[in-house]
Amino acid sequence: MSAGSPANLRRQNRDLVLKQIIESRALSRTEIAQQTGLTGAAVSRITRELIDVGLLREGPTIELKGRVGRRNVRLELDANGAYVLGVAITANVRSVCVADCRGDIVGRADVAALDLSDPEGALETVASAARDLIRETRIDASRLLGCGASVAGRADPETGRLIRSEPLAWRDVPVGEILSKALSIPVRVEGRAVALLLAELRRGVAVGKQNVLLINNGLGIGGSVVIDGRLARGQANAVGQIAHLPIRGETTPCVCGRWGCLDAVASGASVLRRLAEEDLSEAAADDDPGEQLRAMAELAGPEHWAVQEAFRDAGRKMAYAIDAAIAILDPELVLLAGSAGRQADYLAGLRETLNQLRASEDGPPVQASEVTSDQSAVWLGLDAFVYSRNLDIDQLKAA
Ligand SMILES: [Zn+2]
């Protein structure tokens, strides 16, 4: 099918209409025509088709200005029109969600007990939890259009393969293929940092921004970058993976075999190691390092000075890496995600050092990312299979 074929154009226009409606919540046909530049006839045809398959419905009626008695019906997404799954697998979050086509999560399950030493088995467990959740939420499974999978590490969305994940100790795992086969729906796979950034750009604090650096810091460190409005991927989907950047003056051994890497001195795992050395392990009684990190992040504060200082110090070291990244990438916004990255003392230490390093210039604002792992996985699925040229309208017709 050539790019300009009628079928392709139809998909493109349908996608345009859906994106306008999701952004505005509800729009009349006239408003859609004005905002998309499509003709009234084209908008009528497209919206009729989307209403017929159950994805749109007629919502509130509005009075037209200056035309007494003329009313105009606004169209909105029908929440029950389509669903997606969102899967998140990181060192400290393993979850499955069912969301409706408006992005509202209608069901969620933790998949805590995953044997990560067997990637295929772990993914089968996730798929099985997803099937249970679909049953429990009682959604119309024939309207389940796809799945977004956000996985710690580097992923290739074209092939659906996880290239490499240090936190999971996975290498070259066909995540998309395994989940897709087990669930009989298409799956879109992205690395966690990329999934978070895409969600922030679409619906979060980065809406409208063209140049954004996102650093995700849970137990380990990952990153992603948008330059001039485009997600930068690099030759091996490794753009933004700054975990092993050397930090000046640091000598702590790193898992990679070198010394003084960012990951060794500024990651959530490094904060936990430091607290264990200072014998604060009692405060973090939980066996699960992800839970430990979340507990510590909440514990920090004046009354737990050592914990506060551990986060603040890790944040200071992160500032050196961000300073270098700013020099190379020239972002307008730097977002910090993950249970260590978003922590208040971590951010305070980061800002303090960054201000010292870049005293003469106004650096870009550093902000905490607000989207959750669940939301980012869900939006990945929605953007790939609902507000997308790939929307399978025939599946909805048959539903
Ligand atoms: Zn390293």
CATH code of residue 157: 3.30.420.40
Query: In terms of domains, do 179 and 270 share one?
Result: no
How many Å lie between the centroid of ligand 1 and the Cα of residue 365?
27
pTM, two decimal places: 0.92
How many Å lie between the centroid of ligand 1 and the Cα of residue 324?
17
Q: What is the pLDDT of residue 304?
A: 86
How many Å lie between the centroid of ligand 1 and the Cα of residue 293?
20
Query: In terms of domains, do 238 and 354 share one?
Result: yes
Query: In terms of domains, do 123 and 232 share one?
Result: no
Q: Is residue 11 part of a domain?
A: yes
Beta-carbon-side half-sphere exposure of residue 121 (alpha carbons within 13 Å): 6
Q: Which of 35, 51, 77 is where one domain is finished? A: 77
The whole-angstrom separation of Cα 313 and Cα 251 is 15
How many Å lie between the centroid of ligand 1 and the Cα of residue 262?
7
Query: In terms of domains, do 43 and 154 share one?
Result: no
122 burial (CB, 10 Å; 0-12 / 13-18 / 19+) is: buried
Copy the structure tokens of residue 183.
């669930």
Q: Is residue 267 part of a domain?
A: yes
Beta-carbon-side half-sphere exposure of residue 216 (alpha carbons within 13 Å): 32
Picking from 284, 283, 302, the residue whose alpha carbon sits closest to that of residue 345 is 302
Q: Is residue 202 part of a domain?
A: no
How many Å lie between the centroid of ligand 1 and the Cα of residue 256?
4
How many Å lie between the centroid of ligand 1 and the Cα of residue 225?
20
Give the Å distances, CA to CA, from 50 to 17, 75, 248, 394.
Answer: 10, 10, 57, 11
Picking from 36, 40, 11, the residue whose alpha carbon sits closest to that of residue 23 is 36
Q: Is residue 277 part of a domain?
A: yes
How many Å lie between the centroid of ligand 1 and the Cα of residue 322?
16
Q: Is residue 384 part of a domain?
A: yes
Return per-residue pLDDT of the chain as tens, 399 residues. 456 788 889 999 999 999 999 888 889 999 999 999 999 999 999 999 999 999 999 987 776 666 555 568 999 999 999 999 999 999 888 999 999 999 999 999 999 788 899 999 999 999 999 999 999 999 999 999 999 999 999 999 999 999 999 889 999 999 999 999 999 999 999 999 999 999 999 889 999 999 999 999 999 999 999 999 999 999 998 999 999 999 989 999 998 999 999 999 999 999 999 998 887 655 555 678 888 899 899 887 777 889 999 999 999 999 999 999 999 999 999 999 999 999 999 999 999 999 999 876 666 889 999 999 999 999 999 999 999 999 999 999 998
Q: Is residue 352 part of a domain?
A: yes
How many Å lie between the centroid of ligand 1 and the Cα of residue 75?
52
Cβ atoms of 53 and 145 within 8 Å: the answer is no
Query: In terms of domains, do 392 and 351 share one?
Result: no
Instruction: Measure CA 355 to chain center.
Output: 28
Domain count, the chain: 3
Q: What is the pLDDT of residue 72?
A: 80
In the block, which residue shows the tokens 């209403």? 51
How many Å lie between the centroid of ligand 1 and the Cα of residue 45?
56
Q: What is the pLDDT of residue 291?
A: 86
In the block, which residue shows the tokens 């772990």? 122
Query: In terms of domains, do 262 and 219 share one?
Result: yes
Query: In terms of domains, do 352 and 379 share one?
Result: no
Per-residue pLDDT tens over the stretch 25-42 = 889 999 999 999 999 999
Q: What is the pLDDT of residue 1?
A: 47
The whole-angstrom separation of Cα 5 and Cα 85 is 31
Query: In terms of domains, do 242 and 218 share one?
Result: yes
How many Å lie between the centroid of ligand 1 and the Cα of residue 223?
15
Give the Å distances, CA to CA, from 37 to 21, 32, 46, 203.
Answer: 14, 8, 14, 23
Q: Is residue 91 part of a domain?
A: yes
How many Å lie between the centroid of ligand 1 and the Cα of residue 350?
20
How many Å lie between the centroid of ligand 1 and the Cα of residue 284?
25
User: Can you give the chain as a three-state secondary structure string?
Assistant: CCCCCHHHHHHHHHHHHHHHHHHHCEEEHHHHHHHHCCCHHHHHHHHHHHHHCCCEEEEEEEECCCCCCCEEEEEEECHHHCEEEEEEECCCCEEEEEEECCCCEEEEEECCCCCCCCHHHHHHHHHHHHHHHHHHHCCCHHHEEEEEEEECCEEECCCCEEEEECCCCEEEECHHHHHHHHHCCCEEEEEHHHHHHHHHHHHCCCCCCCCEEEEEECCCEEEEEEECCEEECCCCCCCCCCCCCECCCCCCECCCCCECEHHHHHCHHHHHHHHHHCCCHHHCCCCCHHHHHHHHHHHCECCEHHHHHHHHHHHHHHHHHHHHHHHHHCCCEEEEEHHHHCCHHHHHHHHHHHHHHCCCCCCCCEEECCCCHHHHHHHHHHHHHCCCCCCCHHHHHHC
Query: In terms of domains, do 68 and 122 share one?
Result: no
Query: In terms of domains, do 264 and 298 share one?
Result: yes
How many Å lie between the centroid of ligand 1 and the Cα of residue 218?
16
Q: Which amino acid is at 247?
A: I
How many Å lie between the centroid of ligand 1 and the Cα of residue 183?
37
Query: In terms of domains, do 86 and 65 share one?
Result: no
How many Å lie between the centroid of ligand 1 and the Cα of residue 253?
8
How many Å lie between the centroid of ligand 1 and the Cα of residue 221?
11
How many Å lie between the centroid of ligand 1 and the Cα of residue 236?
18
Beta-carbon-side half-sphere exposure of residue 198 (alpha carbons within 13 Å): 26
How many Å lie between the centroid of ligand 1 and the Cα of residue 260?
7
Which residues are CB-neighbours of 4 under 8 A, at least 6 positions away?
none
CATH code assigned at 67: 1.10.10.10
Q: Is residue 1 part of a domain?
A: no
How many Å lie between the centroid of ligand 1 and the Cα of residue 265?
10
Which residues are CB-neighbours of 91 under 8 A, at least 6 positions away?
152, 167, 168, 218, 219, 220, 289, 290
Cβ atoms < 10 Å from Cβ of 326: 19
How many Å lie between the centroid of ligand 1 and the Cα of residue 243?
7
Query: In terms of domains, do 109 and 42 share one?
Result: no
Q: What is the pLDDT of residue 280?
A: 64
Range of the domain at 89: 81-197+374-398
The whole-angstrom separation of Cα 287 and Cα 352 is 33
